[in-house]
Structures are given as structure tokens and as C-alpha cells.
Chains A and B, each alone.
Chain A
Amino acid sequence: MSLPDTTRRTILGTVATLAALPTVSRADISEPDAVSGGLGLQNVTLQVNGQQFRVTLEPRVSLLDVLRETIGLTGTKKGCDHGACGACTVHVDGRRIVSCLTLAARCKSKKIVTIEGLSNGGDLHPVQAAFLHHDGFQCGYCTPGQIMSAVALIQEGHASSADEIREWMSGNICRCGAYPNIVAAVQDASGNVTEGG
């Protein structure tokens, strides 16, 4: 993936049209955050799936929008944009959260993991494999969020029964109604996933 290296000057020049669209450049080192210009653009280094991304953003931009629109990781989905569907679930510092209600500017020095960061090289994460095996989806739109939630749920120790899985997966809505297969996949994977999985 090659990303344009946009300077602050060009951002300030185009801010009317790019109002909510931050720009991104990769950086190996994290720079101190600088507030610049009247619109309060900030330089923030985000660590996503083990990689550092230096993004220039307005403080109001959600982590979800930065992941998708700026960094280009479109696996994380936007359903409701209000915390109510779980499609945007990612892990921040090891916990599942909804990225639509998270300000990207507050995520500096936190470890973010998205659906793209789960597989190990070509090997699917056991939860991903279980979703395939059990047909845990139809259209697939909710699936990245379901999988991120399921991985966390298993680590939390909330997969002891189908009922417990249903309750602790309740933050993830599936409009296709693939629930029975999702529960089966999570139940199956919970036997497979090793610590830190």
C-alpha cells in the first residue's frame, strides 16, 4: 500500500473540502503531538496491527474513520456509527471497543488491532477459520466485528456455554440473522484458541 505524504501546507490549503479527512504518512518514530492551525490539526502516531502510522487529523475524527478512510484498513465496518451494532469492533490495548465512539486523537500510544491484524501470515486465526467452517455469516458485513468480539470474548473467559456466548456477543448485531452459526463458530473456536490467541 502506498500512501501520499501530505504536508501540513497542503492540508491547510484543502481543509474546506477535506474537513473531516485526515491525512496519513508512515513514520518509524513517534513525534511529539503538535497542534497546528486554527482548526487544531494534530499529528498523532497510531500503532495499528504492530505498524506505526503517523496521521494528521482533526480532533473530532473517529478511530473508525481514520482506520478506513485514512490508513485504508477497510476490514473494520461502519454500521450505525453510534455504538449500537458492533460492526466497527477493534481491540485497543487488548480490549474490544467500538471504534465509531472512539476519538482517534485519544489513541496515541495505544495498541490497536483490527481484523487485518488477526491472521498470522497466511494462516487464519482460529476464530476466522471457525467462522468459515460453520458458515458464520451471510452477507459478511457484520463479520469482522463479530470475529473481533469473539476473539476478545474467548480471551475474557466468557465462552463457557452457548447462552454465555449469546449474552457476551450481544453487542454485535447481524442483520442476516446468522446467529446460530456464529454461536457454533465461537463455541468451536473457544476449544481451539490458546492463550493470547
Chain B
Amino acid sequence: MQNFSITSPSNLPAAAAAGQNSDTAFIAGGTDMMQLLKNNVITPSKLIDLEKLSLSEIKSENGVLRLGAMATMADVAAHPVVRQNWPAISRALLLSASPQVRNMGTMGGNLLQRTRCLYFRDTGFACNKRAPGSGCPAIPGDSRDLAILGTSPHCIATHPSDLPVALMALDAELELLTPEGTTRRMSLSKFYRLPGTTPHIESNLEAGQIITAVILADQAIGRLSTYLKVRDRTSFAFALVSAAVALDIEDGLIKNARVALGGVGTMPWRVHQVELALCGQKPSDRVFELATLRIGEGAQTTEMNAFKVKLAQRTVVRALQAISA
């Protein structure tokens, strides 16, 4: 690990201004940052500690939920309002990492976690995400855990986080602070970028911009929601495939449906075509199975990860069954 300095600004404008330099990086819980630093995947000369910025509040007011960017994964998962009104968020967090890591990891940090693609994390390999233009050894290589949706010939790395899959399904917004001191909102659906020819640019967050909060406004769709995660071992593993689903059922018919997938996309992946196929239907196994057949549309699989199409379909069916039973 290269050495660096750390500063702990006590106000947001100072932090955002300091974060504009290209050799600086923000540190929140530090759980991903430390791994990237230890492996020399990134080598900033200065870390800006976000801890003193008072961004850890979890607030629910008039049906709107505001999760401070520095709220820990553990605190958000355990929050009674989150559990009650947005169970998919609580579930996604409880199925993430370990209790220790959840006590450290934060909302903002989880949204910006880098891919777990082994080639990206090992500087001995080429990687278009880490060293633009160097090539992608994952496509002909070990691609079992990698993405089948949103890929490009330059990168098939999976977005590894669980939380944003649930947030994507529930139409979350982000509150950002720019280095100029203005606050702006951005829909999470506009936050992530597909790899295309620039896999090293993963989000539309600009240099120095700080995520200050995650905002959820629509409580109605959140209530009947869940998160289901399939992994190689029972606990403490990244998703092979995961699904966040939510249903709004009125008079026995699905009025509104939300489905998002983890473990299969280069970013947390909303599947609108499945949602459309569910709307207006009476919930049943047959309806769920037919709707989820559309999940494979547009998938680019390798021999090693082709199993994810069927696994994703079954995961969504199971999750829908769980909340409509």
C-alpha cells in the first residue's frame, strides 16, 4: 500500500472542495477503500474522511425516508421504519457482507463499491476498468461471477452491491453536493453508467461531488417488497444472482410491479419488461413464470455464466411468490 495523508474536514463545502483533485479520494466506512488501497488498485495521495460531516442520520418524515450517506448498513437495516415500510432495503442489507462489515460500511460507500471482478482487483492482470485500454482478460477468462446484462466488448464486470438493487427497484433518488456548494437530486436510475468503451467511468458522480443522502419517497410500493439473494454459500458471499421485487396489489390484481436484479448486470439492473408483463395480472406461479421469461432478453452470456439467465428467472419467481403468498 502506498502512503497517503488523511484530512477530516468538519464541513461539507471544505470536503467537496478538497475532493476535486484527481489524486484525492473520499473515505467513508473504508471497507472497500482499504481493500483497493492494499491491493494498489488505486493509489490516491490524500484521503478525505467523511466521518465528521454529520451525514449519518436516518429520518422518516411524511412518508419520505432520508438515509444519510454515512448511515451504516447495520443501522439502516435495523431501523424500524425501514423494516416496516421498505423491507427490501433492510433484507438487501442484512444479506450483505458480515455483521462486522455492516457496522462499518455506509450507504454512500456501498453505492460506490467497485466490482469484485478478480482481474480488476489484481494489478498483475490487464483490466480496462483499472487501466483503460489494457484489455479485458475476463471475457475469455474466468467469467462465472461476471455480468450478462449491460456488458460491452471492453468489460463484463458485475456491480457487486446488494443495496442499490433494492434502491433501484424502489425508485430511490440521491442527494448530491457539488464542489460549488449546490445541492442537487439525481435519480438512482441515472446514476450508474454502462461500461461501453469507458468502463473506468462507473457513475455520473463528478469529481468532488459528495453523496449526502439517499431519498425514498414512494412508500406505497415499498411495503410489499423483498430481496432474495442466491450465493455459493448460505451467508457472507456476494450474489450469484439476486432480486429485489415489489408489488402493489389492488382488488386481487397487480397494479404496479418492480423488479431489479443483482449479480447479473454491469450495474444494478431494473427489468421493466418483466414489470410490464406482471401489471394487470392476477398473481400466480404461471403469471410469474411467463413474465420472468423475458429476463434473458439482451443477455450476452459466456459458457461459464450462461446459467445466470435461468437462475435469475427462478430467483425472481421465488421472490414474487414470497411477497404475494
Contact = CB atoms under 8 A, between A and B. Distances in A.
Interface stretch (B97-105, B168-176, B199-207, B222-230): B97-105
Contacts of B49: 106
A91 to B, nearest CB: 10
| Chain B: interface size category | 20 to 34
A73 B144 CA distance: 41
B191 interface: no
A103 B101 contact: no
Contact of A59 (B5, B51, B99): B5
Q: Majority SS of interface residues in chain A?
A: mixed
A102 interface: yes
B235 A39 contact: no
A156 B4 CA distance: 35
A171 interface: yes
Contacts, number: 85
B5 A40 contact: yes
Given A59-B4, A106-B6, A101 B31 contact: yes
Contact of B30 (A39, A82, A101, A171): A101
A144 interface: no
Interface in B68-122: 74, 97-101, 103-104
Interface in B46-71: 47, 49, 51
B323 interface: no
A58 B103 CA distance: 25
Interface stretch (B14-22, B33-41, B124-132, B256-264): B33-41
Contacts of A105: 6
Contacts of A98: 31, 98, 100-101, 104
B100 A96 contact: yes
Contacts of B287: none
Contacts of A76: none
Interface string A70-102: 000000000001110010010000011110111
Nearest to A59: B6
Contacts of B6: 59, 103, 105-106
A101 B104 contact: yes
A51 B104 CA distance: 24
Contacts of A156: 99
7 contacts: A82-B38, A89-B100, A102-B104, A153-B99, A170-B98, A170-B235, A171-B100
Interface of A: 19-20, 35, 39-40, 58-60, 62, 81-83, 86, 89, 95-98, 100-103, 105-106, 149, 152-153, 156, 158, 166-168, 170-172
Interface of B: 1-6, 27, 30-31, 34-35, 37-38, 47, 49, 51, 74, 97-101, 103-104, 234-236
